[in-house]
Protein backbone atom coordinates (compact mmCIF):
# COMPACT_ATOMS: atom_id res chain seq x y z
CA UNK A 1 0.00 0.00 0.00
CA UNK A 2 1.31 3.40 -1.02
CA UNK A 3 -0.06 6.75 0.12
CA UNK A 4 0.20 10.11 -1.57
CA UNK A 5 -0.76 13.37 0.15
CA UNK A 6 -1.29 16.40 -2.05
CA UNK A 7 -2.63 19.94 -1.66
CA UNK A 8 -4.67 20.99 -4.70
CA UNK A 9 -3.32 24.21 -6.14
CA UNK A 10 -5.73 24.62 -9.06
CA UNK A 11 -8.46 26.81 -7.54
CA UNK A 12 -11.33 24.95 -9.21
CA UNK A 13 -10.04 21.62 -7.91
CA UNK A 14 -11.54 18.28 -8.82
CA UNK A 15 -14.75 19.42 -10.47
CA UNK A 16 -16.42 18.16 -13.64
CA UNK A 17 -13.84 18.06 -16.40
CA UNK A 18 -10.61 17.92 -14.36
CA UNK A 19 -12.24 15.12 -12.36
CA UNK A 20 -12.99 13.28 -15.61
CA UNK A 21 -9.38 13.54 -16.75
CA UNK A 22 -8.18 12.47 -13.31
CA UNK A 23 -10.42 9.39 -13.32
CA UNK A 24 -9.29 8.46 -16.82
CA UNK A 25 -5.66 8.61 -15.69
CA UNK A 26 -6.39 6.37 -12.69
CA UNK A 27 -8.38 3.84 -14.70
CA UNK A 28 -5.17 2.81 -16.46
CA UNK A 29 -3.85 1.15 -13.28
CA UNK A 30 -4.56 -2.41 -12.26
CA UNK A 31 -4.31 -1.66 -8.55
CA UNK A 32 -7.09 -0.38 -6.33
CA UNK A 33 -6.94 3.41 -5.96
CA UNK A 34 -8.85 5.54 -3.51
CA UNK A 35 -8.91 9.27 -2.91
CA UNK A 36 -9.83 10.80 0.41
CA UNK A 37 -10.76 14.32 1.42
CA UNK A 38 -11.79 15.45 4.88
CA UNK A 39 -12.48 11.92 6.12
CA UNK A 40 -14.54 10.94 3.07
CA UNK A 41 -13.15 8.32 0.77
CA UNK A 42 -13.97 7.59 -2.87
CA UNK A 43 -12.99 5.02 -5.45
CA UNK A 44 -10.70 7.07 -7.68
CA UNK A 45 -11.86 5.19 -10.77
CA UNK A 46 -15.40 6.49 -10.36
CA UNK A 47 -16.08 9.97 -11.72
CA UNK A 48 -19.25 10.81 -9.81
CA UNK A 49 -17.74 9.58 -6.56
CA UNK A 50 -14.64 11.71 -7.11
CA UNK A 51 -16.69 14.76 -8.06
CA UNK A 52 -18.84 14.11 -5.01
CA UNK A 53 -15.89 14.83 -2.73
CA UNK A 54 -16.13 18.45 -3.85
CA UNK A 55 -12.35 18.87 -3.53
CA UNK A 56 -11.25 22.41 -4.32
CA UNK A 57 -8.05 24.42 -4.44
CA UNK A 58 -6.40 24.48 -1.01
CA UNK A 59 -7.93 21.16 0.02
CA UNK A 60 -5.68 18.29 1.03
CA UNK A 61 -6.36 14.98 -0.70
CA UNK A 62 -4.84 11.62 0.15
CA UNK A 63 -4.57 8.96 -2.54
CA UNK A 64 -3.97 5.32 -1.61
CA UNK A 65 -2.74 2.65 -4.01
CA UNK A 66 -3.02 -1.05 -3.22
CA UNK A 67 -2.15 -4.06 -5.36
CA UNK A 68 -0.34 -4.74 -8.59
CA UNK A 69 1.95 -1.90 -9.72
CA UNK A 70 1.12 0.33 -6.74
CA UNK A 71 4.61 1.88 -6.59
CA UNK A 72 4.58 2.92 -10.21
CA UNK A 73 0.96 4.12 -10.10
CA UNK A 74 1.79 6.33 -7.13
CA UNK A 75 4.77 7.85 -8.96
CA UNK A 76 2.71 8.52 -12.08
CA UNK A 77 -0.13 10.15 -10.13
CA UNK A 78 2.31 12.30 -8.16
CA UNK A 79 3.60 13.73 -11.42
CA UNK A 80 0.05 14.01 -12.78
CA UNK A 81 -1.21 15.99 -9.78
CA UNK A 82 1.77 18.30 -9.84
CA UNK A 83 1.26 19.02 -13.50
CA UNK A 84 -2.52 19.33 -13.66
CA UNK A 85 -4.01 19.99 -10.25
Residues of the shown chain interacting with other proteins in the complex, contacts defined by CB under 8 A: 7, 11, 15-17, 20, 23-24, 43, 45-49, 51-52, 54, 57-58
Question: CB of 35: closest distance to other proteins in angstroms?
Answer: 14
End-to-end CA distance of the chain: 23
Nearest approach, Cβ of residue 2 and other proteins (Å): 22
Identity of the residue, 58 or 67, whose beta carbon is nearer to other proteins in the bound complex? 58
Cα–Cα distance, 59 to 38 (Å, whole number)? 8
β-partners of residue 69 are none
Contact 63, 33 (CB under 8 A): yes
User: Known catalytic residue: 15?
Assistant: yes
What are the catalytic residues?
15
Amino acid sequence: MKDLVYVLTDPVGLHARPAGDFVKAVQKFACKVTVEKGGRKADAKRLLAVMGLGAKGGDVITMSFEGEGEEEACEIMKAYLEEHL
